[in-house]
Chains A and B, each alone.
Chain A
Amino acid sequence: MDTINYSIETENLSLWYGDFQALIDVSVKIPTGKITSLIGPSGCGKTTLLRCFNRVNERYGNVTTKGEIKILGKNIYDQDVSLLELRKTVGMVFQRPNPLPISVYENVLFGLRIHSPFRSLTRTQTDEIVEDALTSVFLWDDLKDKLKTRATTLQLEQQQKLCIARLLPLKPQVILMDEPCSALDAKGTLAVEELMSVLAGTYTFLIVTHNMAQAKRVSNECIYMFLGELIEHRETQALFETPEHPKTADYVQMRYG
């Protein structure tokens, strides 16, 4: 059996918001089980590209796409693709931690509950799922006595880890992260990065970041985008040390803007 080496592949992907073209012929392959970072100046289409991969872009209205996106080898624009199933497989973590205004326990279970028949989960099952998910993100010890507290009252770092934890019960393959550390302090940033390194391998990570040091620290591969185009995609170290494209060189050596 063929192992899928690329979790995400796009072929000449273009996207328009109304008349504005936000992505121009992007062709990219994201390797399975690795951490890939997306860097580039604000407005270059990083977040837009990220949101294509679980098709959540379409909820924001007036979006047209052209080209092909394959997740785990399957074209996600095929007729038989259920968006709800796609979004289970491709999880998303946001810039600003956005736990739901319900308890920690229910946050972790939220995804699972909406995809399970009503009342089909027993208490023993859910206890175990919550413990597993929180343990995976190193939150269990901190929160095991606070499972009933409202998730929105936690510290930001805990909130962000919880946002990662709530994806896990759905058994995702790909986790998309949109500047996951920009609302966190230095300690929180390192904690989330460490978490990503531990979870990489099990999951494919694609992370948008404005922090180039972070891209260097966490990612195996790095993609530089500029004004909707993919400029360069290489191993992180190579991209930073010997950029091929002059625009990449300008950006990674901070000569941009």
Chain B
Amino acid sequence: MNSTTEISAQDMFTETAVGKQNRYIENAVKIFFLIMTCLMILPLLLIIGYLFYKALPVLSLDFLFTNPQDNMRAGGIWAPFLGTIYLVVVSLLVAAPIGVFAAVYLNEYARDNWFTRIVNLAVVNLAGVPSIVHALFGVGAFVLFAGLGESILAASLTLAIMTLPVIIASTTEALKAVPMAFREACWNLGATRWQTIRRIVLPNSISGILTGVILQVSRAAGETAPIMFTGAVFYKAIAEGDIFAYNITDQCMALSLHLYTISTQVPDVTEGIPYGTAIVLVGSVLLVNAAAIVLRVYLRTRKKW
């Protein structure tokens, strides 16, 4: 008797035909998804690798810190590099406070009525407007109507208008991630909305908010259309190594436009220069994104619930 029960217990867990089929399908599906993931990463690695390989002959600190020379056929990228930094910084200085505080208002103060619904609808739609449309708006509103002329200020404001809806959306997400129960606890202790925001909501959403804002750096740095009619120029020499070389009422060069120019408009450019420009553009953006990730991880270790 004993031995028969043992045999049946051993049989009980052996794989059936259906089980075997399921296991094959499971493995096949897993491998399929893995391949898709690799396909996603592969182009990124190839692009960066290829850029690096091609840019290697020109890459040096000098490349970063000298102006383009010889009708942009030689030299470095100092003027466009600094120009891009100016454009990004000024546009974020404008867009980040407006976007973040608007999102705080919409989330923490505004009631659900026709006004907030229209604002939210506008935010979603603005995020989908092509950048060339923002560019035309920038020309009309900032360059001509506001009389700023083609300048860093006008271009930055155009970029700010473009990044604003995305900053509002990402801030909204970050605020929504703070549990409602914390707000209720505060309100029931007689806290005003501002005390609730200041002491509980913001400290617990700041990492998400900052990440959302910083990710806009890459968009602002990469766009060409919104700046080419509003403040960016093909060529402008500035003092090398001086980070205050631009005035915000000046026109400036920008990496994205410079890359377009030397790749398509100027013949006989030293081969490495466009690739070097691209590497600097991609590299700076990746660096900023990496900083965002580090910041996010750091701030997240301080919040637990």
Contacts and interface: CB of A to CB of B under 8 A. Distances in A.
Contacts of B190: 83-88, 111, 114-115, 170
Interface in A148-205: 150, 152-153, 163, 166-167, 170
B200 A101 contact: yes
A62 B189 contact: no
B199 interface: yes
Residue from the set A54, A87, A92, A98 with the largest chain B CB neighbour count within 10 Å: A98
Interface residues of A, number: 31
Given A84-B192, A114-B195, 17 more contacts: A56-B184, A56-B187, A62-B112, A87-B190, A91-B188, A98-B184, A100-B182, A100-B185, A101-B204, A101-B304, A110-B189, A110-B191, A114-B189, A115-B190, A150-B304, A152-B305, A170-B189
A45 interface: no
Interface string A83-113: 1111110011010101111100000001100
Contacts, number: 73
Interface in A111-168: 111, 114-115, 150, 152-153, 163, 166-167
Contact of A94 (B185, B192, B203): B185
A255 interface: no
Nearest to A112: B189
Given A61-B112, A150-B304, A153-B304, A87 B184 contact: no
A84 B193 CA distance: 11
B20 interface: no
Contact of A111 (B189, B192, B200, B204): B189
Interface in B169-224: 179, 181-182, 184-192, 195, 199-200, 203-204
A203 B189 CA distance: 16
B111 interface: yes
B30 interface: no
A96 to B, nearest CB: 6
A101 B303 contact: yes
Dominant SS at the B interface?
Answer: helix
Contacts of B200: 100-102
15 contacts: A56-B184, A62-B111, A62-B112, A84-B192, A85-B190, A87-B188, A87-B189, A98-B179, A100-B182, A101-B203, A110-B186, A150-B305, A152-B305, A167-B189, A170-B190
Contacts of A62: 111-112
Interface of B: 111-112, 179, 181-182, 184-192, 195, 199-200, 203-204, 303-305
A-B residue pairs, 7 tightest by C-beta: A87-B190, A98-B181, A111-B189, A92-B188, A84-B190, A152-B305, A98-B185
A99 B189 CA distance: 12
Contacts of B181: 94, 96, 98
Contacts of B184: 56, 94, 98
A116 B303 CA distance: 26
B188 A54 contact: yes
A84 B187 CA distance: 8
A99 B185 contact: yes
Given A98-B181, A98-B184, A114-B189, A61 B111 contact: yes
A102 B304 CA distance: 9
A167 B186 CA distance: 11
Given A62-B111, A101-B204, A152-B304, A114 B185 contact: no
A54 to B, nearest CB: 6
Contacts of A88: 189-190
Contact of A101 (B111, B182, B191): B182
Nearest to B189: A111
